[in-house]
Amino acid sequence: MSTFPRNPKAAPAKPVQPRYGRMDVGLSEVALGIAHATDWLLGLQHPDGYWCGELEADSMLESDYIFMHTLLGTGDRGKMERAVNEILRHQNEDGGWSIYPGGPSNISLGVKAYFALKLMGWSAEHSVLVKARTWILANGGVTECNTFSKIYLCALGQYDYDAVPAVPPEIVLFPNWFYFNIYEISAWSRAILVPLSIIYAKKPFKKLTPEQGIDELFVGGRENADLHLRWDRKHPISWRNFFLGVDRITHWFERIHIRPLRKIALEKAEQWLLERFEMSDGLGAIYPAMLNAIVALACLGYTPDDPQFIRAMDEFEKLGIDNPDGELKYPTPTFRMQPCMSPVWDTAQAVYALGEAGVPKDDPRLLKAVDWLLSKEVRHKGDWAVSVKNVTPGGWAFEFNNEFYPDVDDSAQVLLALNQVRNPQERYQHEVSQRALDWIFAMQCRNGGWASFDRDNTKMIFQYIPFADHNAMLDPPTVDITGRILEMLANYGFTRRDKRVEKAIQFVLDEQEPDGSWFGRWGVNYLYGTFLVLRGLEAMGVWSHEPAIVNAAEWIRMVQNADGGWGETCGSYDDPLQRGIGPSTPSQTAWAVLGLLAAGDTRSDSVAKGIRWLISKQSPLGTWDESAEERNGEAIYTGTGFPRVFYLAYHLYRDYFPLLALTTYKRMMEREAAAA
């Protein structure tokens, strides 16, 4: 049973059964599951007070790791060899590699994996590479890769700089009032593109041996390949063709060396980077920006013994998880990279779930976690302040340190967590919370919703820029974040009488899909969006019999799997007809149950079966397994980085979301029984 202290004055617990509906699992079993899950989650707490689970992504990170160290002549050869093992572990039967387990093979990922293996000395005749090459050539070859992949290939002599979309550093010189400026694109793209513009301007080049090259991946041979971007002939007058024209002109100026502002632009871009290294775990605290920043520093003449270079490299290497002796599931030694770390997010979610589970508000473990969260409050103005002026900084970032990029979603979840404790520093916590609330309201977009890092970052024209093929140039308001904020605001006493709240509610109602679901931007996918919206609407007192709520609950019930759980694959981003379809997972089953409970459904077989599924899948230790047995135990990705491009497996989702679902169910059933 649970080790957290029970109130000695409380009456002995009595098993309570619901009055209505079928119950295949007694509340005593649910209570036992909650106790075990609580103990397990508390056992994962770091001595400093925080939680931080592994954040897993596709094997492109390991390929890029090998690329970067090969280009710079740095790195630990042993780690790179173990990174090869990680790449091999994820190869598909067809020879390619996917951006999420079970998904279709991806051309950019396949080319990078193939190239990484060759850089590590593998022969083109090795059976792994023969199989990979067959798939790559059948799917268009190297020329079908995205821009970022092509620029990396250019640096190692495998593509032509003249054939990739131009990313000129002069973009940093556009004034903030100008329609096209770097603050009109998403925060993550900004952090990636500024150092990439330095790389593009300096055009690093390292000559490889013929055996290391990938000429064989060009359909018809590299010498016959058409490397240049294609015009849109179906729509000759279009934004795509306009930007392609600008791109061609930019390349022409590059060839004849007419770049009057290049020196100034590079100096400003360098200054921009160095400023954002401060108070951060590397540039933007995210993998691609950090990698680009390291290469950019090398291009600018920083040597490996320069303090700035050392710091950037150290922060980058901290993202690695090295298993030289293998793991329980994977006995082969591996090394993999995380896209970033998630301590603030995991801690806020864990504290909230534990508080809801009944851990006392003055429990020293929760107080330590909350004090850690309070210490991570952002107190400096970051990029968001360019468009949101005269607002006191507040809120939290996702990572340990990322002062320039706090985000609204984390800030809302931290505020929910803070409400779960009775802090002796009550006044200080109130001041921090008030600053965060003021900042969150200041970040509300014109349409009533909230985005993650910026306000009204919605200029669709940026999607047509040639180097925007990573599908993440914008940061528009989303219903999942807005739903979480509505829940948080209700916890802090806000109601529909507040015009800002009502505007947010109207935003989410307007975004509902015809089938009753809501799109999930930051979690996979419609199950995620729908559960967060329903919780937000419930918290704000929206009547559960409103058509929007009824339709959403019916959609959740409709997509339940035969085993009683719920699941949805990342493929629903490519094909909306796949929404709500996928093998059952603990996190997504928890989301579905939480959504139904928020819609007022405590009586249906769907809820009972969902709870039974969670209880039956819980291990004796109190945790859940969220991996695919048929894919060698690979983690199932239920987190979203960039839809259709980059997905994530949060290793603690399988713990705190099921705990929250069981707790919410038990509380609602007890309340219903008491009212009978």
- Whole-number pLDDT of residue 331: 84
Does a structural domain hold residue 626? no
- Whole-number pLDDT of residue 631: 64
Distance between first and last Cα of the chain: 29
325 CB burial (10 A radius; 0-12, 13-18, 19+):
exposed
C-alpha–C-alpha distance, residues 107 and 165, integer Å: 18
Q: Count of domains in the chain?
A: 1
- The DSSP-derived string for 15-42 is ----SSS--SS-HHHHHHHHHHHHHHHH
Does a structural domain hold residue 11? no
C-alpha–C-alpha distance, residues 557 and 604, integer Å: 9
- Whole-number pLDDT of residue 24: 60
Q: Which of 113, 340, 337, 73 is nearest to 217 (CA)?
A: 113
pLDDT below 70 — which residues of the chain? 1-24, 239, 328, 470-471, 629-633
Does a structural domain hold residue 365? no
Does a structural domain hold residue 349? no
- What letter does residue 639 receive in the DSSP assignment? E
Does a structural domain hold residue 63? yes
Q: Which phi and psi (to 5°) does residue 647 adopt?
A: -125, 165
Does a structural domain hold residue 329? yes
CATH number where 179 lies: 1.50.10.20
The residue range of the domain holding 102 is 58-337
- What letter does residue 267 receive in the DSSP assignment? H
Does a structural domain hold residue 486? no
Does a structural domain hold residue 120? yes
- Whole-number pLDDT of residue 281: 96
661 CB burial (10 A radius; 0-12, 13-18, 19+):
buried
C-alpha–C-alpha distance, residues 389 and 308, integer Å: 31
- Whole-number pLDDT of residue 470: 65
Active site residues: 409
- Whole-number pLDDT of residue 612: 97
- What letter does residue 13 receive in the DSSP assignment? P
Task: Using DSSP, state whether 519 is helix, strand or coil.
Answer: coil
Among the residues of 363-425, which ranges form H helices?
364-375, 408-418
